[in-house]
Amino acid sequence: MSSFQTTPGPLKRTKCNRLSPRSGTIYIMAMGTSLIVVCLAIAGLQAVRLQRRINDESSQSANAEKLAQAGIEFAQHRILTDANWRSFFTHGVPVTRNTTGGSFSVTLTDPKDGVIANQSTDPAVVTCTGTFGSASQKLTAYLEPQNQLFASCRSALYAPTSIAFNGCTITSNQWAYCDNQISNTANPDVNMNCLASNLIGNPNGFKQRKVQGGVWPMDKLDLVTSSGTYVGKYYIDNSVVINAIDLPTGGTEMIKNGHFDTNTANWSGVNCTLSRDTVQKRAGVASCRVSAQGFLSTPVQDITEHMIKGRRYNVSLWIRTTEDQDISPIIALQGSGSVLPVMKSGPVVVALSGEWTQISFNTDVTWTGTLTKAEFMISSERNSEYHFDSVSIMDAERQPGTRYIENVVLGSGNNPYGMKTVSSNGIYSINAGTEKLLIRDCRINGTLVMQSANKVELRSALLWEPSGRNFPALIANAPIDDLTTKTALSEVTIGINTNPASTPYQGVSDTDATDSQSSQIMGAIVSTGNILLDGVSTLSGPVYSGSTISVTSDNLNIDFQSDMILNPPPGFFAATPKMRLITSSVQTVP
């Protein structure tokens, strides 16, 4: 038997499949990336939702603010269109209005007295809350009463019947307006816009814009003097009255007690004795006896208040001496600019003993600086006794029937007339009756109201500026003639100080009499009758007539002040003011 023996062969390796470590890492990375993408997607969706929510809230807030603004506009519209708006709104009580998707409420309060309805001149605070969705916005604004200048007063010239430009040269930055007719004749230069129902004359005379035809309804001044809304009423009610009798006039005697009817008052003796004598008299019941004369003796009367520089005066008196001697009347004028007075002597007349002799002469007075004293005196050759009687000094230029305001400063710091009561606001009213009022060569710092006069005439140089903001210069229930000159108001010429400490000019005062100011009238000129413009002083206007305006000046400039539109003076706006929203006051509040 044979045996079988296996011979071992070489050992073989068997191949086995295993996972690679890299495959797990990649898987994990893929899964992480997917998770991040999912998170980002979810975050994106959340961001979109959040943004949508923010947008919705922002939109609602914007809409709420618009509704709050609409509330302010609602209040403005109601105030503008409803004359009884102060009764519609109640202090602190909201008025609500609904709109598509929202609403607004408007609340008005009166910060002055807590009552909206009682005063048309009270301001108001409007608070508006706008609501849209879940959002609300609140705005507040301040409304103040705004006086509106009458439309007709926004013209440099206004007249209802006619405005006539006759051979004149006029320049203005504002319109000439007439309800009826504007005409030009004799080749005028009208350098201003003109508006009227009818324009007649040479078209070339109108150098600027001209509009005619149609009717333009415009609010006008009340020129009825008995009316409660008369343009001059406020100024009359707040004025100091100057009686016409207190204003100088022609034919007025400047010497006081010139006939010695009862005593020797207003006279004094220098180195002599004065006494009343009823035996020796030229006229009347007595004369004045001059006795006990010494060196340079003379009777004296102070006439300072009557003197006007450059003016001519008529002087007259009667003398009776006890011996023949030379007699000469004298006006002595002491000015602040000189040491010695200016002596204006009359003729030397030989007075015969025991006879009444008349001495009369005319003289023009002058001085240097401002007048400090003016005196009437009598120079005699001898020291013997004499009598004088019927002494008279009169202004040679002033006319009877005319009252004068001249060579003075009149206004908020000065009143040289009557009791000299000063109006702190510079407003004075005058009733001249049937007499004429002539104003010339003076400075007026205020407003004059002529309640009656035959005419108001403006002449020579005038420096006239009201003391109240945009107050009128002159309101007259009478015709007005402007005959002023371009010549400056010179203190040297008129002999007074026009800017004393009591009445500075543009904040400056002094004590000299050397200044010179341009002739101008600032402030409105108003007449219930006709107005003639033949002067050349610069005006600010408006020039307002109740009838007609005639312009004949060869060089007139009217520089209309726009501030008058924004801040009209009393009498030049309606009794109920408009309410104006102060735009800078609109603000958001919590």
Q: Say how far apart CA 166 and CA 55 lie, in whole Å.
A: 72
Confidence of residue 101 (pLDDT cuts 50, 70, 90): confident
Quote the pLDDT of residue 51: 63
Helix (H, G, I), strand (E, B) or coil at 234: helix
Across 67-207, the runs of DSSP E, i.e. the strands, are: 95-99, 102-109, 124-132, 135-146, 157-159, 162-166, 169-172, 176-185, 189-191, 194-201
* Residue pLDDT, tens place only, 38-47: 788 787 777 6
Cα separation of 191 and 171, whole Å?
Answer: 5
Closest CA to 581 of 50, 91, 146, 129: 146
Q: Are 478 and 529 in contact (CB under 8 A)?
A: yes
Looking at residue 385, what DSSP letter applies? -
DSSP H or E stretch at residue 76? helix 21-81
Q: Which CATH architecture has domain 268-395?
A: Sandwich (2.60)
pLDDT bucket at 2, cuts 50 / 70 / 90: very low
Q: What pLDDT digit, counting tens, does each position of 349-363 carry?
A: 999 999 999 999 999
CB-based contact 438:403 (threshold 8 Å):
yes
User: In the chain, where are the structural domains located?
Assistant: 23-147+581-589, 151-248+399-573, 268-395
Is residue 379 classed as helix, strand or coil in its secondary structure?
strand
CA distances 279 to 289, 322, 387, 388, 472, Å, are 10, 14, 11, 13, 58
Neighbours of 52 (CB within 10 A): 10
**27 has pLDDT over 80:** no
* pLDDT at residue number 4: 41
Tokens of 49: 């939702």
Which residue bears the tokens 């408009």? 578
Query: According to the 3-state scheme, what is the secondary structure of 545-582?
Result: ECCEEEECCCCEEECCCCHHHHCCCCCCECCCCEEEEE
pLDDT at residue 12, as a whole number: 52
Judge if the upstream peptide bond of residue 299 is cis by omega within 30 degrees of 0.
no
Q: What is the pTM of this model?
A: 0.82
pLDDT digits (tens, 9 = 90+) for 220-230: 999 999 999 99
CA angle 360, 363, 366 (to 5 degrees): 150
What average pLDDT does the chain have?
Answer: 91
Q: How is residue 315 written in tokens?
A: 């002087």
Nearest to 403 by CA among 452, 350, 340, 471: 452
Window from 44-48, 117-121, 123-127, 513-517 with minimum mean pLDDT:
44-48
Q: Which residues 6+ apart lie within 8 Å of 226 measured at CB?
A: none
Spatial distance between the Cα atoms of 418 and 246, rounded to a whole number of angstroms: 5
Calculate mean pLDDT across residues 251-260.
95
Phi then psi for 223, rounded to 5 degrees? -105, 15
Name which of 446, 443, 415 is nearest 247 in CA terms: 415
Task: Dump pLDDT digits (tens) for 32-75.
Answer: 788 888 788 787 777 667 666 655 678 888 999 999 999 999 99
H-type alpha helices, 262-310: none
Instruction: Please provide the size of the chain in residues.
Output: 590
Residues paired with 450 in a beta bridge: 430, 476
Region at 214 (left for phi over 0; alpha for psi -120 to 50; beta for the rest): left
The predicted pLDDT at position 7 comes to 47
For residue range 498-546, list pLDDT tens digits in order: 999 999 999 999 999 999 999 999 999 999 999 999 998 899 999 999 9
300 three-class SS: strand
Distance CA 299, CA 319 (A): 13
Alpha carbons 478 and 456: distance in angstroms, whole number? 7
Question: Do 552 and 532 contact (CB within 8 A), yes or no?
Answer: yes
Residue 185 per-residue DSSP state: E
CA–CA–CA angle 315, 320, 323 (5° rounding): 130
Assign 314 a pLDDT band (cuts: 50, 70, 90): very high
What's phi and psi for 101, nearest 5 deg? Answer: 85, -5
